[in-house]
């Protein structure tokens, strides 16, 4: 999941011109992901990973790095599975 | 302490730095500015800004000199703006995220040779050096930060006096210049005096009953005029201003929690932020009883979303604030909750106290209820003029001879309004092609010119369309040259290198032809009426 997300950020958000992000880079604080970037990231997560992120979970803590975002998404998937069973 | 007066301002205040001096005399330990975990009391803000002022004067700064502020939002911004003004100089806030070419233009246009900046901005300083910009000194940069320009660190200023320098500055002198984009395609600097800014601080502190117990948000960056109410209205009242870190403006759920945890009592923002906060789940389960006043301005607010957000903050008074940067503020509309159900568009209200308005048609005659005309304003909060542009000033100001044959100066806002039966004004739009998108002023013709400057672009058209929420989005369409193989992302990259992020279109649609008017001109109005259905970005929520 991390690799997929990094590829999306590098290719689509940084337009291939970027330096390449790593798992722990502070993508929110360093400005890599701007407001439009957040929207595109959410679309990507919904379309490619099949997870809809509720508005109240779109927080700085969850989006601060690729690592934190993937950790949140795994937790979210578990939560949804538990709720469904 | 029992001897202190009921108001922090019992003495004569005629310069903006006096606001901080007197708030510090009243209660030096009261929080003036907070940012993340950090805080400056009024005593600390007064000491540090005074030391900066002395350091600037010792370094040769002259009264009236323009000094740039190139900083991300933070406590140093507050020190910088008061320090610069305390030295009798004029602060010019610069968007720290702007491309180097735009910063270089602004620095040259305004004759800036010194900046207050930080170690984090050294890459931007290198960009300026590459643009051939020469600077005398940069302040707030440490010795080991490898600045391309001579630097003075904050530590070097601690030996200077912690009191205002003796100056011959008067309230008629300039205190700041805010740059916007201009209708000729180049940004223009709007010059304000201590008097015009102080008048705005006095009007807002009085009308909104700001007091020392208030905690006021600072949502807007310094180069955006909303920030003057946050800083100067707040200091006039001896209140606490909480700087909202930039990334919170991208994460409404985090912003909502910050409003609650910082116990903000006054939140001043742009409509776009309120639209985001209105989304389901964002404001639920938060303790917001302390929030008494929600001010918003900069562009029209969609009523549908306003209703949603007002339902979630039932105790706050919501106010639509209107006024071009040239005037600080003109009119406001405190919203009557009982009337909101029937309204489709929000009035901009009535003039503030001490502000007079006229609505004139093309012939210069006052228009009646229901008719439309240009809004003209006479106010003590009015700018001195545009930096370096005498010809522009002639269009911005208009003399009206009425009472006793005396000619009075009005500002032509360029905004179309209509007087309503109940005495409020309705906003109809800009008279030219200048728009506001998410609170930022954008010249559509400037964006078009830059897109057209790309050698692969044959023709270009840029226009604004309200999205689902009623917020104006910038769209572009392009006809490429016959041999070109560029893609949308290449053109967006081209625009991003020359424009601030908010002025870059959300999408560029490639076409083989444009709709035309009968005279052969590109018909942008037809494009606006039928925005391309394939556009993807920005439509969420």
Is residue B212 within 8 A of residue B220, CB to CB? The reply is no
Residues on chain B touching A60 (C-beta within 8 angstroms): 247-248, 251, 254
- Report the candidate in B387, B371, B285 with the shortest Cα–Cα distance to residue B326: B387
- Nearest CA-CA distance, residue B324 and chain A, Å: 25
Q: Answer yes or no: do B279 and A55 touch at CB < 8 A.
A: yes
Q: What integer pLDDT is reported at residue B344 of this predicted model?
A: 65
The range of the structural domain enclosing residue A38 comes to 2-84
Give A38-85 pLDDT, tens digit per residue. 888 998 998 888 888 998 999 999 999 999 999 999 998 888 888 887
Tokens of B368: 């009646």
Q: What integer pLDDT is reported at residue B266 of this predicted model?
A: 98
Residues on chain A touching B254 (C-beta within 8 angstroms): 59-61
The helix/strand/coil state of B424 is coil
- Nearest CA-CA distance, residue A44 and chain B, Å: 12
Which tops the pLDDT comparison, A1 or B334?
B334
Residues on chain A touching B249 (C-beta within 8 angstroms): 35
DSSP A3: H
Q: What integer pLDDT is reported at residue B52 of this predicted model?
A: 98
Q: Answer yes or no: do B250 and A59 touch at CB < 8 A.
A: no
Count of structural domains within chain A? 1
Q: What integer pLDDT is reported at residue B308 of this predicted model?
A: 87
Positive or negative torsion for Cα B137, B138, B143, B144: negative
Q: Answer yes or no: do A31 and B97 touch at CB < 8 A.
A: yes
- Nearest CA-CA distance, residue B244 and chain A, Å: 13
Other CB atoms closer than 10 Å to residue B5's CB: what's the count? 9
Give B401-451 pLDDT, tens digit per residue. 877 788 899 999 988 889 999 999 988 777 777 788 777 878 787 788 788
Cβ-proximal residues to B258 (8 Å cutoff; 6+ apart), any chain: B242, B244, B248, B264
Closest Cβ–Cβ partner in A29, A40, A58 for B253? A58
Q: What integer pLDDT is reported at residue B516 of this predicted model?
A: 66
Instruction: Give the helix/strand (H/E) hosting A77.
Output: helix A66-84
Other CB atoms closer than 10 Å to residue B521's CB: what's the count? 9
Q: What integer pLDDT is reported at residue B528 of this predicted model?
A: 78
Cβ-proximal residues to B359 (8 Å cutoff; 6+ apart), any chain: B366, B367, B372, B373, B374, B375, B376, B417, B418, B419, B425
Q: What integer pLDDT is reported at residue A50 of this predicted model?
A: 86
The low-confidence residues of chain B, meaning pLDDT below 70, are: 1-10, 181-185, 343-344, 390-391, 516-521, 531-541
Is residue B301 within 8 A of residue B316, CB to CB? The reply is no
Closest Cβ–Cβ partner in B252, B493, B501 for A17? B493
Q: Answer yes or no: do B280 and A55 touch at CB < 8 A.
A: yes
Q: Answer yes or no: do B251 and A56 touch at CB < 8 A.
A: no
Q: What integer pLDDT is reported at residue B533 of this predicted model?
A: 36
Q: Give the DSSP letter string of B91-136.
A: EEE--TTS-HHHHHHHHHHTT--EEE--GGGHHHHHHHHHTT---S
Instruction: Name the residue in chain A with its Cα closest to that of B505.
Output: A36
Is residue B42 within 8 A of residue B50, CB to CB? The reply is no
Residues on chain A touching B284 (C-beta within 8 angstroms): 56
CATH of residue A73's domain is 1.10.1200.10
Q: Answer yes or no: do B251 and A38 touch at CB < 8 A.
A: yes
Residues on chain B touching A57 (C-beta within 8 angstroms): 253
């Amino acid at each position: 999941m991390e690799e997929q997300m990094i590829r999306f950020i590098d290719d689509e958000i940084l337009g291939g011109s970027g330096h390449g992000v790593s798992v722990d880079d502070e993508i929110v604080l360093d400005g890599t992901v701007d407001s439009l970037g957040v929207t595109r990231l959410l679309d990507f997560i919904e379309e490619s990973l099949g997870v809809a992120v509720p508005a109240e979970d779109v927080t700085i803590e969850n989006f601060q790095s690729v690592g934190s975002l993937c950790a949140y998404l795994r937790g979210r998937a578990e939560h949804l599975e538990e709720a469904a069973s | 302490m029992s001897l202190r007066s009921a108001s922090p301002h019992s003495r004569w205040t005629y310069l903006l730095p006096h606001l901080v001096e007197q708030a510090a005399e009243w209660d030096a330990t009261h929080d003036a500015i907070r940012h993340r975990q950090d805080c400056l009391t009024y005593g600390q803000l007064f000491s540090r800004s005074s030391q900066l002022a002395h350091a600037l004067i010792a370094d040769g700064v002259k009264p009236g000199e323009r000094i740039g502020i190139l900083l991300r939002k933070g406590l140093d911004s507050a020190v910088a703006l008061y320090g610069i003004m305390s030295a009798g100089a004029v602060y010019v806030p610069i968007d720290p995220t702007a491309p180097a070419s735009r910063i270089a233009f602004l620095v040259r246009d305004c004759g800036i040779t010194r900046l207050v900046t930080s170690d984090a901005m050294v890459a931007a300083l290198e960009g300026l050096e590459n643009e051939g910009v020469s600077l005398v000194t940069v302040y707030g940069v440490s010795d080991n930060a490898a600045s391309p320009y001579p630097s003075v660190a904050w530590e070097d200023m601690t030996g200077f006096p912690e009191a205002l320098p003796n100056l011959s500055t008067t309230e008629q002198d300039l205190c700041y210049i805010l740059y916007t984009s201009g209708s000729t395609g180049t940004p223009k600097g709007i010059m304000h005096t201590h008097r015009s800014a102080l008048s705005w601080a006095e009007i807002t502190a009085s009308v909104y009953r700001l007091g020392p117990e208030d905690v006021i948000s600072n949502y807007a960056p310094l180069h955006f005029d909303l920030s003057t109410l946050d800083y100067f209205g707040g200091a006039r009242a001896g209140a606490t201003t909480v700087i909202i870190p930039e990334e919170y403006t991208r994460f409404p759920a985090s912003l909502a929690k910050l409003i609650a945890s910082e116990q903000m009592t006054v939140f001043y923002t742009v409509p776009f932020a309120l639209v985001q906060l209105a989304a389901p789940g964002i404001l639920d389960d938060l303790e917001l009883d302390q929030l008494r006043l929600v001010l918003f301005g900069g562009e029209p607010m969609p009523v549908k979303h306003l209703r949603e957000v007002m339902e979630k903050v039932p105790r706050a008074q919501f106010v639509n604030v209107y006024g071009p940067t040239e005037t600080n503020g003109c009119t406001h509309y405190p919203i009557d909750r009982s009337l909101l159900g029937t309204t489709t568009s929000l009035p901009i209200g009535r003039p503030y106290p001490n502000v007079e308005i006229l609505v004139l048609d093309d012939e210069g005659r006052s228009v009646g209820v229901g008719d439309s005309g240009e809004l003209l304003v006479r106010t003590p909060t009015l700018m001195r003029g545009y930096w370096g542009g005498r010809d522009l000033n002639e269009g911005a100001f208009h003399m009206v001879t009425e009472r006793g044959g005396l000619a009075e100066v009005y500002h032509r806002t360029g905004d179309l309004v209509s007087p309503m039966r109940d005495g409020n004004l309705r906003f109809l739009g800009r008279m030219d092609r200048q728009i506001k998108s998410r609170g930022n002023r954008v010249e559509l013709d400037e964006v078009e010119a830059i897109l057209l400057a790309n050698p692969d672009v044959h023709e270009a058209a840029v226009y604004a369309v309200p999205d689902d929420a009623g917020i104006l989005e910038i769209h572009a369409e392009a006809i490429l040259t016959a041999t070109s193989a560029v893609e949308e992302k290449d053109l967006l990259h081209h625009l991003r290198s020359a424009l601030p992020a908010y002025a870059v279109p959300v999408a560029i649609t490639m076409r083989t032809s444009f709709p035309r008017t009968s005279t052969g001109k590109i018909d942008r109005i037809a494009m606006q009426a039928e925005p391309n259905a394939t556009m993807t970005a920005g439509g969420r929520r």
